[in-house]
């Protein structure tokens, strides 16, 4: 009988990146492609990143002495879906991004190829990608040490789902975090070896450490889709959210004591249903909503009590099933102000004249003081916008991270929402994200 080499329950991948930050706000964008079409993913990625690289045209003002272009749009995090970007496009941008003065974090799911349907990497392919990354000029290769140590323990024929978080730090160094998926989805369990995902055991946490010491650190946990769910695992109790509490000793002598942002590229079917007004809507998958409830209240996820979850999804799944609802969950009461029409809300709480918390449906107005709420999901309305659009980009600001807000003052959730729509602009085909 073949014996399997014994591995530790978890290995740690703890990264610490110095970053420039001007204030306590956290500017987030989520990119939602219209369809899961790998041949178009790199185009969507390029167009989205260009929004934050190209200088914006200045507004014409006859009384202004300076008509120069405005600086590029600032962002702290842009999240793309799971199984999205091929390695060659990742390498291309990493070779060029180091010249930029202001560039936040980009989180994207990777796939081996833009032409093949399989999104899983052989361990041997990941080793080749690791070596190519280490050769990128200006890249801080020490960021790959923990991932490399884990990867060297894996058989070359095993297959993994992998994501990447990258940025340019305060010292103009390219910083890269590769993180493997720890929890199989039901679509990654297969009789076919090439479609059967191996569950990893590498826990990843990234600390963003502002050079301005008046500002606090921001701690990010990058995950992939079902990593965020309370599902059965092949290796018992190997879920990455719970592990930061139950297995914190594996993170060394000084584990992070909280998580501010959980960034989750996803590829997940959502739940459609009819409203009381005879229209259709979609709501986030119940397993995700249970995660949001547990993160805010369950001691098993104590480090996530103040975490904001950022989620990016395809609007339509590979088999044509409904997806979408890219956005965020924040454990802050929703407030009184209405959101734009392109945003759909689902609040955790209850109408003022009832008891017992539940999730609101999208056709229930939980703003304007009609509900007592503890947190909410704000996401792109799948039925609002141009059906021919290749992708949409939803931007919002976390005015202050929940951990940074005093319980004695007013609480602020998501503010300053924006929508950009990606459409082809003639021939040769070019994709531009324009403000809607």
Neighbours of 346 (CB within 10 A): 24
pLDDT, tens digit, for every residue of 76-108? 999 999 999 999 999 999 999 988 888 999 999
Whole-number pLDDT of residue 208? 97
Burial 23-41 (b: 16+ CB within 10 A, else e): ebbbbbbbbbbbebebebb
Q: CA 287, CA 291: separation in Å to the nearest integer? A: 6
The bridge status of strand 391-398 relative to strand 26-33 is: antiparallel
Contact 206, 251 (CB under 8 A): no
Whole-number pLDDT of residue 167? 97
Whole-number pLDDT of residue 55? 59
Whole-number pLDDT of residue 427? 57
Q: CA 327, CA 367: separation in Å to the nearest integer? A: 18
Whole-number pLDDT of residue 316? 92
Neighbours of 104 (CB within 10 A): 20
Contact 114, 41 (CB under 8 A): yes
Whole-number pLDDT of residue 1? 43
Whole-number pLDDT of residue 193? 85
Whole-number pLDDT of residue 172? 94
Mean pLDDT by 10 residues, the chain (436 residues): 61 96 96 95 94 63 46 90 97 92 94 94 97 96 97 96 97 97 91 90 97 96 95 80 90 90 96 73 92 95 96 92 95 92 94 92 85 95 84 96 90 94 74 85
Domains of the chain: 13-54+72-435 (3.60.110)
Whole-number pLDDT of residue 62? 39
Q: What share of the chain is helix, strand, coil (3-state, %, to 5)?
A: 20, 30, 50
């Amino acid at each position: 009988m073949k014996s399997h080499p014994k591995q530790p329950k978890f290995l740690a991948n703890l990264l610490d990146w110095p970053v420039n930050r001007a204030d306590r706000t956290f500017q987030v964008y989520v990119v939602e492609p219209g369809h899961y079409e790998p041949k178009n993913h790199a185009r969507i990625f390029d167009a989205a990143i260009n929004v934050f690289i190209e200088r914006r045209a200045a507004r014409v003002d006859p009384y202004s002495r300076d008509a120069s272009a405005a600086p590029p749009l600032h962002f702290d995090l842009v999240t793309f879906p799971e199984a999205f970007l091929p390695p060659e496009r990742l390498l291309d941008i990493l070779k060029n991004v180091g010249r930029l003065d202001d560039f936040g974090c980009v989180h994207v799911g990777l796939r081996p190829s833009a032409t093949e349907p399989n999104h899983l990497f052989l361990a041997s392919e990941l080793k080749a990608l690791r070596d190519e990354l280490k050769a990128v000029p200006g890249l801080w290769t020490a960021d790959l040490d923990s991932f490399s140590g884990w990867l060297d323990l894996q058989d070359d024929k095993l297959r993994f789902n992998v994501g990447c978080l990258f940025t340019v730090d305060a010292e103009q160094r390219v910083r890269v975090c590769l993180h493997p998926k720890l929890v199989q989805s039901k679509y990654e369990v297969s009789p076919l070896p090439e479609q059967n995902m191996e569950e990893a055991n590498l826990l990843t946490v990234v600390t963003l450490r502002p050079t301005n010491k008046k500002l606090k650190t921001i701690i990010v946990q990058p995950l992939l889709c079902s990593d965020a769910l309370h599902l059965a695992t092949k290796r018992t109790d190997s879920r990455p959210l719970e592990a930061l509490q139950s297995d914190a000793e594996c993170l060394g002598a000084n584990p992070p004591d909280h998580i501010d942002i959980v960034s989750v590229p996803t590829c997940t079917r959502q739940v459609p249903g009819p409203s009381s007004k005879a229209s259709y809507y979609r709501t986030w998958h119940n397993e995700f909503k249970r995660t949001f409830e547990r993160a805010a209240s369950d001691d098993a996820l104590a480090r996530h009590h103040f975490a904001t979850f950022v989620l990016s999804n395809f609007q339509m799944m590979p088999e044509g099933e409904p997806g979408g609802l890219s956005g965020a969950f924040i454990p802050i009461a929703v407030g009184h102000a209405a959101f734009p029409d392109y945003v759909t809300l689902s609040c955790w709480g209850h109408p003022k004249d009832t008891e017992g918390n539940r999730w609101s449906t999208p056709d229930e107005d939980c703003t304007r003081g009609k509900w007592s709420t503890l947190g909410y999901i704000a996401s792109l309305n799948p039925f609002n916008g141009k059906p021919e659009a290749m992708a949409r980009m939803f931007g919002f600001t976390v005015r202050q991270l929940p951990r940074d807000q005093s319980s004695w003052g007013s609480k602020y959730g998501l503010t300053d929402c924006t929508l950009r729509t990606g459409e082809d602009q003639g021939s040769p085909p070019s994709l531009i994200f324009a403000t809607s």
